Amino acid sequence: MKKVLLFLILFAPLIANAETIVTDSTSDSTITSTIDSSTKLTSPPPSAISPQINVSNSDLCTVGVAGAVQTQILGISMGTVYTEPNCLLLKQSKQLYNLGMRVAAVAILCEGDRKIFNAMANSGTFCPIDGLTGQAAKERWAEVPERWPDAELNNKGEWNEGKKSQARGIGAVGGLFALLLLLL
């Protein structure tokens, strides 16, 4: 048994190195393929995000207004802060009253609103004017009707800066919406 193992160990490499068989072959093949494919790309539309306007303090007389419009082509976002004039009038009057200036507090209210002006006149206590109160104020108001609170409303041809700014803003927003409609 030892001799057979020795024989296999010594002569096995010689048997493995025997001649290999080589085969030559040639084959031709033609592959024809037609691929018809389509790709549908879906994506979310871009976003127009309106600005945040923080007016959470209750002591402010401002109101925040913001808005946004978005199409597949164009997005517009804008915001502004509007100051409420009657709120300012009341705050100013209250502050003057708290400082002990009662006549000035009433005078500032009379300047801002025709309703207060009429209420004071109907009560027999006329709004102060030029440092005058009572009957002297009544006579002075009769002499200068152009200074009555709604006198500026009668001048329809003149706009103050606030109304001009508001009209420009409304015109700009309207123009942008018209442009969006044209692009759709």
The mean pLDDT of 6-33, rounded to a whole number, is 67
Taking the model in full, what pTM does it have? Answer: 0.48
The mean pLDDT of 36-41, rounded to a whole number, is 78
Q: What pLDDT was estimated at residue 155?
A: 47
More confident residue, 51 or 108: 108
**Helix, strand, coil percentages for the chain (3-state, nearest 5):** 50, 10, 40
Sorted by sequence, the CB contacts under 8 Å of residue 69 that are 6+ apart come out as: 48, 75, 76, 77, 176, 177, 180
Position 126: which residue type?
F
Q: Per residue in 125-168, pLDDT tens?
A: 888 888 888 888 888 888 988 888 765 544 455 666 767 777 78
**Looking at beta carbons, which pairs linking 87-96 to residues 24 or more positions away fall under 8 Å?**
87/61, 88/61, 89/113, 91/61
pLDDT band at 95 (very low <50, low <70, confident <90, very high): very high
